[in-house]
């Protein structure tokens, strides 16, 4: 496995470079506890298969594997979003952070937004969160998910349209 | 399109709350990665084991088994055959053949306390459009047929737990509450509700809202429970919508139909047995060039004791 920015990396180097952002992305989808399992498994899969993966963008490999592993927990993800939309309480957020949300008087917005995220088709949710949370560019998202660039653009366009509509609804 | 637009900031803020790391969280995770900590851990094991011990001590084990808290029989992995995409065939003729096949089927009705076990032998891409690296996975789910309540789910023999370590029983209880609240329907199909669909595409259209994904997902979830007339009704509705391409897909010397909707470069494909219209599996296919299978699931259904 070659690192695009340097020579072969060991798993510790890989983690130092990408671990924090990958954990942030996974935790944003399924919560901190499950994210630890997923991130750990992702790095181990990449490392174990480093000879088979060949040269390529490591970041896309990491996010691609992590996203595949996240799909195992899509019920957890969607159930939590639905719970947030229904009750205003996010089961994946620690109480302290949740209180901060209420202080900011943003609960209504979060509920509406969570409802939109829960209703998105899996592909659109993947693309939106890889773009908005992981802040990957179109090309890297295409490589991450193994889909054409045009599919990334159209999925993102549709997903953002729904999010914007939800935000606009709150202002109406 | 910038990455700092208001909608993106809102999404980032929403999920960002979940990602806050405590002191030492990242260092602990790094140590786990570097040390090659056990790749998969089943956090349900300890609480379930403790619960079983407690039940035995209380003399309540028999009751627990009747409630379905027992662990279902393990499912062994099998070799995964490679599938190949064949040519497109005449869709009208294919649907006619499927409808004829559906007419000869009958739903398998579960006995009391039986669960529907859905087994998916999967191959999943490891990431990247040019990769031929596939990850084999075995995904097994157990459902209560009334309302299709997921009571257990495993990947590669390991049960999933909730984000805060909830047991699957706790998560199933949430689903049962949802079923009680919304009743039988697309989200919680029951054998009785499926029987009420009948052969009329308009009836099916009404409940399925004419979405291709809704139709195929319903058929995929409840395949053995579908009465012949309802299966035929679903097929008629799929055919009536237009835009469906049917391909031949072969594996292990077996030929099945792959149903794909739309002309996009990447699509989900539902695999049906041409002789019975029963679900065989599903694929995610990249249709650029010759067509490349990104994910395959070969699916079998069985009723098992709870």
What are the tokens at A119?
Answer: 């209703």
**pLDDT for the residue A160:** 92
How far does the CA of residue A116 sit from the closest CA of chain B (Å)?
Answer: 10
Whether B288 and A148 lie within 8 Å, measured CB to CB: yes
What are the tokens at B113?
Answer: 């306390």
- For residue B134, the surrounding DSSP H or E stretch is strand B134-144
**pLDDT for the residue A122:** 87
Q: Is B286 domain-assigned?
A: yes
pLDDT band at B208 (very low <50, low <70, confident <90, very high): low
Whether A15 and B127 lie within 8 Å, measured CB to CB: no
Q: Is B62 domain-assigned?
A: no
Question: How many Cβ atoms sit within 10 Å of the Cβ of residue B38?
Answer: 12
For residue A6, pLDDT beyond 50: no
Among residues of chain B, what percentage have pLDDT more than 70?
71
Which domain range does residue B246 map to? Answer: 84-305
Q: Is B138 domain-assigned?
A: yes
How far does the CA of residue B148 sit from the closest CA of chain A (Å)?
Answer: 14
More confident residue, B221 or B33: B221
Task: Categorise residue A155: left if φ over 0, alpha if ψ from -120 to 50, beta otherwise.
Answer: alpha
What are the tokens at B164?
Answer: 């805060």
Strands (E), chain A: none
Q: Which residues pair with B304 in a beta bridge?
A: B115
Overall number of domains in chain B: 1
B19 → closest Cβ in A32, A79, A101: A32
Count interface pairs A-B at CB distance under 8 A.
Answer: 191
Q: Is B281 domain-assigned?
A: yes
Helix (H, G, I), strand (E, B) or coil at B114: strand
> Which residue from A139, A71, A158, A149 is spatially nearest to B265, judged by alpha carbons?
A149
pLDDT band at B54 (very low <50, low <70, confident <90, very high): very low
**pLDDT tens-digit readout, A11-63:** 788 888 889 999 999 999 998 888 988 998 888 887 776 665 555 577 888 89
Question: How many Cβ atoms sit within 10 Å of the Cβ of residue A165?
Answer: 12
Question: ipTM of the assembly?
Answer: 0.86
In angstroms, rounded to a whole number, what is the distance separating the alpha carbons of residues B85 and B17? 44
Q: What is the pTM of this model?
A: 0.60
For residue A70, pLDDT beyond 60: yes
Chain A residue whose CA is closest to B162 = A76
Under 8 Å between Cβ of A37 and B41: yes
Q: Is B41 domain-assigned?
A: no
**pLDDT for the residue B157:** 75
Q: Which residues of B touch A64 (CB under 8 A)?
A: 125-128
> Which residue from B260, B256, B252, B249 is spatially nearest to B287, judged by alpha carbons?
B260
How far does the CA of residue A172 sit from the closest CA of chain B (Å)?
Answer: 16
B34 → closest Cβ in A15, A39, A133: A15
Write the CATH number for B255. 2.50.20
Under 8 Å between Cβ of A62 and A46: yes
In angstroms, rounded to a whole number, what is the distance separating the alpha carbons of residues B30 and B33? 5
In angstroms, rounded to a whole number, what is the distance separating the alpha carbons of residues B131 and A46? 13
| Superfamily classification of domain A11-171 | PhyR, sigma-like (SL) domain (1.20.140.160)
Which residues 250-269 of B have a C-beta within 8 angstroms of A?
Answer: 264-266
Report CA-CA distances (Å) from A37 to A45, B141, B151, B170. Answer: 12, 20, 22, 21
Lowest mean pLDDT among A23-37, A145-159, B41-55: B41-55
Whether B163 and A167 lie within 8 Å, measured CB to CB: no
Which residues 40-79 of B have a C-beta within 8 angstroms of A?
Answer: 40-41
**pLDDT for the residue B53:** 33
Q: Which residues of A touch B131 (CB under 8 A)?
A: 53-54, 56, 146
Q: Is B180 domain-assigned?
A: yes
């Amino acid at each position: 496995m070659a690192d695009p920015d340097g020579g072969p990396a060991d798993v510790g180097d890989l983690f130092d470079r990408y671990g924090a952002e990958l954990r942030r992305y996974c935790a944003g989808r399924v919560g901190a506890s499950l994210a630890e399992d997923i991130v750990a498994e992702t790095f181990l899969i990449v490392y174990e298969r480093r000879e088979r993966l060949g040269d390529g963008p490591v970041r896309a490999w990491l996010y691609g594997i992590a996203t595949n592993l996240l799909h195992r927990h899509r019920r957890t993800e969607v159930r939590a979003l639905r719970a947030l939309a229904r009750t205003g309480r996010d089961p994946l957020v620690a109480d302290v952070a949740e209180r901060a949300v209420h202080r900011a008087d943003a609960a209504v917005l979060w509920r509406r937004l969570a409802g939109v995220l829960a209703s998105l088709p899996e592909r659109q949710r993947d693309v939106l969160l890889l773009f908005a949370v992981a802040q990957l560019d179109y090309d890297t998202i295409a490589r991450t998910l193994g889909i054409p660039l045009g599919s990334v653009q159209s999925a993102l366009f549709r997903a953002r349209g729904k999010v914007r509509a939800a935000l606009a609804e709150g202002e109406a | 399109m910038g990455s700092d637009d208001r909608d993106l900031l809102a999404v980032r803020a929403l999920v960002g709350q979940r990602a806050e790391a405590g002191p030492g969280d990242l260092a602990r995770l790094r140590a786990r990665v570097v040390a090659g900590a056990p790749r998969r851990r089943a956090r349900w094991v300890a609480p379930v084991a403790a619960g079983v011990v407690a039940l035995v001590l209380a003399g309540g084990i028999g009751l627990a088994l009747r409630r379905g808290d027992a662990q279902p029989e393990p499912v062994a992995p099998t070799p995964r055959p490679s599938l190949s995409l064949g040519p497109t065939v005449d869709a009208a003729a294919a649907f006619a053949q499927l409808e004829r096949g559906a007419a000869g089927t009958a739903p398998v009705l579960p006995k009391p306390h039986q669960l529907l076990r859905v087994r998916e032998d999967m191959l999943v891409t490891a990431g990247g459009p040019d990769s031929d690296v596939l990850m084999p996975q075995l995904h097994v789910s157990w459902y209560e047929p009334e309302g299709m309540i997921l009571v257990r789910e495993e990947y590669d023999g390991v049960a999933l737990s909730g984000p805060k370590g909830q047991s699957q029983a706790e998560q199933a209880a949430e689903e049962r509450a949802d079923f009680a609240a919304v009743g039988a329907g697309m989200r919680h199909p029951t054998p009785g509700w499926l029987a009420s669909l009948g052969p009329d595409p308009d009836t099916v259209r009404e409940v399925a809202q004419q979405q291709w994904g809704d139709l195929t997902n319903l058929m995929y979830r409840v395949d053995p429970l579908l009465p012949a007339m309802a299966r035929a009704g679903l097929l008629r509705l799929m055919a009536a919508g237009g835009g469906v391409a049917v391909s031949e897909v072969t594996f292990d010397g077996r030929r099945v139909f792959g149903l794909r909707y739309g002309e996009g470069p990447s699509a989900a494909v539902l695999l049906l047995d041409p002789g019975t219209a029963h679900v065989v599996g599903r694929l995610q296919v990249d249709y650029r060039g010759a067509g490349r299978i990104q994910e395959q699931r070969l699916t079998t259904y069985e009723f098992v004791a709870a």
